[in-house]
């Protein structure tokens, strides 16, 4: 269900094509899936921007990547500050990136939290809901540069949004993205709010694809599987008594190296275009998977609600 019983991958990091000359952004890149994604993109020659909240942790992670890959590869990884819970930093990070680069080939919106206790962030947005709103604030200002890059010869521009099987938890209530009050529903359980945030990641992918379809950009949602990362901190904050169970579950979880494969596939594999995975949802490892009706959002109502709300919040808060 969560990727516990995924088959051995037929696609692995050695399948990543040469990325020399390409430029990538990975949010939450200092640990877990984001760290592996930064390292493997850099290993293949991409210039990678690690967007993280805490500079000291990001710089330490960059040094670790450089040490692991060594001078023979000379990985090009840089840091830009980005706090998922502060919409203004999304715009600032985009502006800083565009000062440094004239192209952008890959965005992996990887950062996120899971099952944390109810708390409003600095912008008055529920913490887990920022999994969606924060990435909107970062990605949308970069769309002109993504389009510009997609117009270049031999370009393969991708936007990858990390979702989760947990988006299905949103089906146990009535998702409402029409207002901040709807986004911040306190009546939802911890897992229900997580499901809402992961549903918003898929809806964002859907809406991005509609707007970018004629530009040759592929937007993909990813469920990485049940992976042993720091994401477990959220449930432990909500229910400390779960600690023994989390440790046991860790025995059966995917490693970060395995968990990152699906997002790396979405970001780099030419099969994404060959299989026409526009607005697709991938489960581990790199398997196209049908979306539930709520996430398919055929009439586009929820996706438009989310987009319009994010636009209004960014204008107000950032």
Q: Which residues carry out catalysis?
A: 194, 198
In this structure, which long-range contacts are made by residues 54-61, counting pairs with CB atoms below 8 Å and at least 24 apart in sequence?
54/30, 55/79, 55/81, 57/30, 57/31, 58/29, 58/30, 60/30, 61/29, 61/30, 61/31, 61/35
Q: How far apart are CA 247 and CA 200, in angstroms?
A: 29
User: Token match 């969606």: residue?
Assistant: 132
* 67: its two tokens: 């040490």
Q: Is 294 exposed, middle or buried (0-12, 13-18, 19+ CB in 10 A)?
A: middle
Phi first, then psi, for residue 12 (nearest 5°) are -140, -175
How many C-beta neighbours within 10 Å does residue 231 have? 20
- Spatial CA neighbour of 34 closest among 64, 6, 1: 64
């Amino acid at each position: 269900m969560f990727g516990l019983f995924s088959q051995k991958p037929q696609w692995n990091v050695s399948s990543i094509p040469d990325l020399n000359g390409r430029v990538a952004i990975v949010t939450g890149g200092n640990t877990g899936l984001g760290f592996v994604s930064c390292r493997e993109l850099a290993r293949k020659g991409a210039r990678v921007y690690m967007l993280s909240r805490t500079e000291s942790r990001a710089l330490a992670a960059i040094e670790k990547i450089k040490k692991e890959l060594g001078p023979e590869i000379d990985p090009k990884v840089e840091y830009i500050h980005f706090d998922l819970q502060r919409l203004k930093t999304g715009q600032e990070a985009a502006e800083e990136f565009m000062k440094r680069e004239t192209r952008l080939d890959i965005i992996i919106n990887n950062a996120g939290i899971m099952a944390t206790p109810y708390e409003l962030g600095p912008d008055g947005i529920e913490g887990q809901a920022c999994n969606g709103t924060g990435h909107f604030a970062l990605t949308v200002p970069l769309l002109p540069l993504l389009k510009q890059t997609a117009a270049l010869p031999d370009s393969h521009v991708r936007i990858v949004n990390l979702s989760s099987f947990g988006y299905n938890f949103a089906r146990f209530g009535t998702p409402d993205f029409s207002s901040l009050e709807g986004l911040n529903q306190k009546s939802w359980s911890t897992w229900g709010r997580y499901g809402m945030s992961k549903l918003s990641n898929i809806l964002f992918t859907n809406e991005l694809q509609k707007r970018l379809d004629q530009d040759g950009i592929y937007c993909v949602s990813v469920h990485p599987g049940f992976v042993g990362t720091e994401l477990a901190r959220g449930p432990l904050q909500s229910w400390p008594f779960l600690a023994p169970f989390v440790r046991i579950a860790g025995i059966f979880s995917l490693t970060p190296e395995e968990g990152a494969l699906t997002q790396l596939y979405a970001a780099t594999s030419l099969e994404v275009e060959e299989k026409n995975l526009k607005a697709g949802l991938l489960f581990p490892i790199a398997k196209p998977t049908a979306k539930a009706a709520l996430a398919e959002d055929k009439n586009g109502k929820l996706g438009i609600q989310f987009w319009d709300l994010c636009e209004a919040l960014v204008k107000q808060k950032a």
